[in-house]
Amino acid sequence: MKTSNPVEEDNDEAEDALQIAIKYFDKGPKKALRKKDEILERHLKTVENVAWKSGLPPEGIDILLNVALSGIFGNAVNTRLLKCMIPATLISEDSVVKAVSWLCVGKCSGSIKVLFYRWLITMLDFIDHKEQINLLYGFFFASLQDDVLCPYVCHLLYLLTKKDNVKPFRVRKLIDLQAKMGMQPHLQALLSLYKYFAPTLISLSLPVRKKVYFKTSANPWTSALIAVRQRNQRPSVGPLKLTLGPDNGPNVKRKWKFHTVIPVLSSGTYAIECGKKEMSLSDYLNHNRSLPVEQLQSFSQLLQNIHCLELPSQMGSVLNHPLLLHYINCVRDESILLRLYHWLSQTLQEECLWYKVNNYEQGKEFMNLLDTVIRAECFLQEGFYSCEAFLYKSFPLWDGLCCRSQFLQLMSWIPFSSFVEIKPLLFDHLAPLFFTSSIYFKCSVLQSLKELLQNWLLWLSVEVTRSPITCSPLDTTLGASIISVSKLIEYVGWLSTVALRLENNSAFLMHFILDFYEKVCDIYINYNLPLVMLLPPGIFYSALLSLDTSILNQLCYIMHRYRVNMTAAKKKDLLGKTKPEFNFSSKTCEEFNNYLTVMIGCLWMSKPFKKEMYIEPHILGKAKITAYKSNLNLVLHPSLLSYAASFLLQENPEEKALSVDTIQGQKWNKYLDYLFSEGLQGLKLFIQSNVQRFHGPQ
């Protein structure tokens, strides 16, 4: 005897009830029935329960969308129906086209039109293909005249616009609307995109880069879409490592599993055609003249078909496909990036549950999503603006523990922009976390800030190569960019100085700080940018007097590279090849010379801190040091005393009483050779470039 499965029975009953409800709405309300309201409410509840639990099939969405926009029922019912339009798989393009046609006959109210446009923006990536929707571009553009619909229509057009859609009459219309409504973000977005595709058509001055053009306020569909997709998709494992080749599926040997939020790679047209009948790849290409992404297997195949590649219906799926990431990087189609950014914005906002409520059940799933995004950013060597906006929203609520590695890596890929704009959104919230967390967190933050600086410098150096520096007084873009970089360096210097005091001049922390300044000291030569910024005094003196030899060696290397950079800058300035407004200030040169004098006094001349330092006599008495100003050099420096002792033992193995004062004259030179042979290359470069070696200390 067969036992029935209660879950299957419940599902069958729900499907039957859904079919009955859809037929009811399709036929329309029956006015003769006395219990009309009760029946309507029962069928509405059925549709809502099924939609929010498992999503609606394409044919169900087709009927209910038609009902909601036809005005057969009242506003309240139509609103509830639209909020139920959650697809279980895909949405038919024909359904959307029929729904848009209802907007032309005036059957639905203004609030229903707004809700429909919001739904269409959210569901755009779930529509199987978009050829007919793109043909409706003119209709959508004409709807910009409606002040209420304008923000939502702009958002939709922003996602649909291609180069062919940019026409002079549309540019004029947008400029007229901006003159009428003022500098609205949604109009700026569309004008900026038009200017990207056709820069000669728009002479208006627009913001170079804006963080958020459209409000991503919570809507009734996005969270449900995530939940439905997780229930309907097969379980999969963590994100895959990006390698050059097709996505061969997950590794089933992994023990833990979770539901991926990244959609499966599929081009809607290919799936539909192949579902109708058996069709070979050659037949399909002859029929459609495009290569579906499912058939993309190698880089050579990508190069041969790059002009006719059919992109997936959901752009989020490209994150796990390196060949498509290559395509995005080569083609540089702004509309593709817009679709990807839109998907990322929605997914990150809905998937990051912990910054709304403390829900850590899906923490592993969210971490793997971030790991996939970070790998894609590293692959493209470019940060995503949607990730930047996500950081700005979540950093004020971040506890510094959840997804720490992922958040700090995302921070290192923030696209270049004004530091003054970023500081209140990100860095003002980072500082309290930095100061109150462990030393390991501090070191991780410094490492991420070093990578952020490197990415900004690379971007700036490329921009300088593309647009050579001229002597025009109007050329202020580079100057503003240099100021932004200098502000970032000043911020890290402030963090580092305070952190050293909090961590008692930890050598471990100092290594990460000096790693950052190794990048800073070579900006002029390595990146061809007119910027030289020195270490703050709190870092310089702490490193100079450190008990760790490796820190002193690293400081010597940094000071050597500063000298090389400043010498090159001075030489270029004398040859008249540097813009006057970018000359290095005399204050920087004076500060460097002061640092140099102190270092040579401490390491070579035995005359440290001639004017800069005063030590109370009673402290010197306790330490039994009376002549501290002559008790610091390469021999007596606290981090080098062990080397001096090892050198003397090597010279006189049988000597029982060692005196470092005997290292003078020729023995001094031998001692230097010994230090250099021990791998202190930074010290060697500093000594060779700043002092005459064979004149030892007096």
Q: Report pLDDT for 560.
A: 95
Residue, of 613 and 334, whose pLDDT is higher: 334
Q: Report pLDDT for 191.
A: 87
Residue 72 has pLDDT above 70, yes or no: yes
Dist. CA 62–CA 101, nearest whole Å: 13
Q: Name which of 260-264, 311-315, 622-626 the model is least confident about.
A: 622-626
Does residue 542 contact residue 510 with C-beta atoms inside 8 Å? yes
Q: State mean pLDDT over 529-542.
A: 92
Residue 168 has pLDDT above 60, yes or no: yes
Residue, of 607 and 378, whose pLDDT is higher: 378
Between the ranges 13-17, 243-247, 397-401, 551-555, where is the mean pLDDT highest?
A: 551-555
Q: State mean pLDDT over 250-270.
A: 48
Residue 435 has pLDDT above 70, yes or no: yes
Q: What is the pLDDT of residues 626-677, one digit of tens each?
A: 555 556 788 888 888 888 888 888 877 776 667 777 777 788 888 888 999 9
Residue, of 408 and 307, whose pLDDT is higher: 408
Identify the three-state secondary structure at position 548: coil
Residue, of 53 and 262, whose pLDDT is higher: 53
Residue, of 349 and 561, whose pLDDT is higher: 561
Q: What is the pLDDT of residues 465-495, one digit of tens each?
A: 776 544 433 344 778 889 999 999 999 999 9
Q: Report pLDDT for 323.
A: 86
Does residue 539 contact residue 516 with C-beta atoms inside 8 Å? no
Residue 621 has pLDDT above 70, yes or no: no
Closest CA relative to residue 135, chosen from 165, 105, 179? 165
Q: How confident is the model at residue 164 (pLDDT cuts 50, 70, 90)?
A: confident
% of residues, the chain, pLDDT over 90: 29
Helices 58-70, 75-83: crossing angle, 10 deg rounding: 160
Dist. CA 159–CA 165, nearest whole Å: 12
Global pTM value? 0.73
Does residue 316 contact residue 344 with C-beta atoms inside 8 Å? yes
Residue 216 has pLDDT above 70, yes or no: no
Q: What is the mean pLDDT of the chain?
A: 79
Dist. CA 468–CA 31, nearest whole Å: 75
Q: Report pLDDT for 254.
A: 33
Between the ranges 414-418, 465-469, 604-608, where is the mean pLDDT highest?
A: 414-418
Q: State mean pLDDT over 409-436.
A: 93
Q: Report pLDDT for 250.
A: 39
Q: Name which of 253-262, 353-362, 363-372, 521-530 the model is least confident about.
A: 253-262
Dist. CA 314–CA 312, nearest whole Å: 5
Q: Report pLDDT for 486.
A: 94
Q: How confident is the model at residue 234 (pLDDT cuts 50, 70, 90)?
A: very low
Q: Report pLDDT for 625.
A: 52
Residue 142 has pLDDT above 80, yes or no: yes
Residue 452 has pLDDT above 60, yes or no: yes
Q: How confident is the model at residue 365 (pLDDT cuts 50, 70, 90)?
A: confident
Q: Which residues of 167-202 are buried (b: 16+ CB within 10 A; e: fewer)?
A: eeebbeebbebbeeeeebebbbbbbbbbbebeeeeb
Does residue 44 contact residue 77 with C-beta atoms inside 8 Å? yes
Residue, of 511 and 47, whose pLDDT is higher: 511
Q: How confident is the model at residue 291 (pLDDT cuts 50, 70, 90)?
A: confident
Q: Report pLDDT for 289.
A: 56
**R_g (Cα) of the chain, nearest Å:** 33
Residue 437 has pLDDT above 90, yes or no: yes
Closest CA relative to residue 481, chosen from 426, 542, 419? 419
Q: Report pLDDT for 237.
A: 39
Closest CA relative to residue 430, chosen from 536, 414, 485? 414
Residue, of 603 and 352, whose pLDDT is higher: 603
Q: Name which of 68-72, 263-267, 302-306 the model is least confident about.
A: 263-267
Residue 33 has pLDDT above 80, yes or no: no
- Which bin fits 28, alpha (ψ -120 to 50), beta or left (φ > 0)? left
List, as one string, the DSSP characters of 87-100.
BSS-B-HHHHHHHH
Q: Report pLDDT for 524.
A: 92
Residue, of 12 and 426, whose pLDDT is higher: 426
Between the ranges 274-278, 512-516, 579-583, 646-650, where is the mean pLDDT highest?
A: 512-516
Q: Report pLDDT for 512.
A: 97
Q: Report pLDDT for 539.
A: 95
Q: Report pLDDT for 473.
A: 35
Residue 116 has pLDDT above 90, yes or no: yes
% of residues, the chain, pLDDT over 70: 74
Q: How confident is the model at residue 108 (pLDDT cuts 50, 70, 90)?
A: confident
Q: State mean pLDDT over 265-279.
A: 48
Q: What is the pLDDT of residues 564-599, one digit of tens each?
A: 999 988 887 655 555 544 556 778 888 999 999 888
Residue 546 has pLDDT above 60, yes or no: yes
